[in-house]
Structure 1
Amino acid sequence: MATTDRRQRERSAQRDLIVASARSLAEQEGWEAVTTRRLATEIEYSQPVIYKHFASLDALVEAVALEGFAELAAAIHHARVDVGDADADPVGVVAHAYVDWAAANPSLYDAMFIRATGLHFGAEETPPQLTDGYAELLAATSVIAGDRDPDVLAEVLWAALHGLVLLDRGGRLRAAHRRARVEAVAALLAG
């Protein structure tokens, strides 16, 4: 039994190294630089070892994206529950956490929302990493919903923030007004 456990730990460590290396390479040089050949060179494994863990590069990007969704959910959660000011706008706090996280992690955000993956939102097989982040948006919008549907508000918030992130990253919005735009979205949702 000990040999089986050791092999499983080694296999898990290999997988973690592949994911971490893909993420690091994407952060440094962009997703275009992430190939199985380049990863094999970086981590000193053969390409077949990578394919033992991931059937395709898309499957590897999906694993990186899942890490990103977990990290984004944690960032939003911490912002939402760690607010010291009882009068703070819960939607504004969550919105700023989302936009700030996306700005700090552009390659990871691309893996989550731009690159093709097999991840689906709102389905039975939706991984918890995806639903946890949405639950944080929903928790914030539930506070302000009143007689409106908090799910619709959460979806609108998410869509607005995603649009702001992409437009801002593309240089299509005035950088000095990022915080004001986020606050305007929160104010509009609050009514």
Structure 2
Amino acid sequence: MASTDRRQRERTAQRDLIVASARALAAQEGWDTVTTRRLATEIEYSQPVIYKHFASLDALVEAVALEGFAELAAALHQARAGAAGAGAVAVVAHAYVDWAVANPSLYDAMFIRATGLHFGAEETPPELTDGYAELRAATTAIAGDRDPDVLAEVLWAALHGLVLLDRGGRLRPAHRRARVEAVAALLAG
């Protein structure tokens, strides 16, 4: 039994190293540089070891994205924990944008690159639903007779759009905070 536990720990450690290396490489050089061949060289494993853990590069990106969703949910939860009412929407909105700006390659894995992850489905992983739950909790406080899910979706879409337009250099950089405040104020009515 002990050797089985040890093998499982080693397998988990290998998987974690592959995911961490993919994240680091993407953060340093972009997702286009992340290949199984490059990862194998970086971590000194053979490509078959990587494929033992991940059926494809897309599956590896999905694992990275799941980590990102968990981290984003934690950041949103922490921000929302000290706020109430309309203030909750603003702090969650700022936390979302700040997190996305600080983690561009991770954000890409979550929202730009193709994955098999599905939102709003029975098989939606908790890492995805937890972040959405934080957006929904923030908008529930201001919903009144409006549907808090619709408000959460609008908030999410607006923030995502702001993040991508800002990253693309299409918005005035000095006005990021004001834009987030405007979105929160519009939702609060």
The TM-score normalised by the length of structure 1 is 0.97
The equivalent residue for 1:172 is: 170
The equivalent residue for 2:50 is: 50
Q: Equivalent residue of 2:123, what SS? A: coil
The equivalent residue for 1:35 is: 35
1:102 aligns to 2:100 (yes or no): yes
Query: In the TM superposition, what is the alpha-carbon distance from 1:98 to its structure 2 partner?
Result: 0.1
1:154 to 152, 155, 167: 152
May I ask how many residue pairs the two structures share in their alignment? 189
1:129 aligns to 2:139 (yes or no): no
**Percentage of identical aligned residues:** 89
Measured at CA, do residues 72 and 60 of structure 1 come closer, stay the same or move farther in structure 2, by a change above 3 Å? Answer: same
Q: Distance in 1 between matches of 2:152 and 2:86?
A: 18
Q: Distance in 1 between matches of 2:121 and 2:188?
A: 28
CA contact (8 A) 2:85 2:138 kept: no
Unaligned runs of 5+ in 1: none
The equivalent residue for 1:10 is: 10
Per-residue CA deviations over 1:105-155 (Å, capped at 9, x if unaligned) read 000000000000000000000000000000000000000000000000000
The equivalent residue for 1:60 is: 60
1:13-24 mapped onto 2 (5 Å cutoff): 13-24=13-24
Q: Which amino acid aligns with 2:155?
A: L
Q: Distance in 2 between matches of 1:39 and 1:87?
A: 46
The equivalent residue for 2:73 is: 73
Per-residue CA deviations over 1:10-51 (Å, capped at 9, x if unaligned) read 000000000000000000000011000000000000000000
Query: In the TM superposition, what is the alpha-carbon distance from 1:82 to its structure 2 partner?
Result: 3.0
Q: Distance in 1 between matches of 2:56 and 2:82?
A: 39
Q: Equivalent residue of 1:121, what SS? A: coil
2:161 to 148, 160, 163: 163
Measured at CA, do residues 88 and 158 of structure 1 come closer, stay the same or move farther in structure 2, by a change above 3 Å? Answer: closer
Unaligned runs of 5+ in 2: none
Q: Equivalent residue of 1:89, what SS? A: helix
Q: RMSD in angstroms over aligned alpha carbons?
A: 0.9
Q: Which amino acid aligns with 2:179?
A: R
Q: Distance in 2 between matches of 1:89 and 1:82?
A: 9
Query: In the TM superposition, what is the alpha-carbon distance from 1:187 to its structure 2 partner?
Result: 0.3
Per-residue CA deviations over 1:57-88 (Å, capped at 9, x if unaligned) read 000000000000000000000000034xx676
Spell out structure 1 runs of 4+ moving beyond 4 A. Answer: none
Q: Which amino acid aligns with 1:3?
A: S
Measured at CA, do residues 149 and 87 of structure 1 come closer, stay the same or move farther in structure 2, by a change above 3 Å? Answer: closer
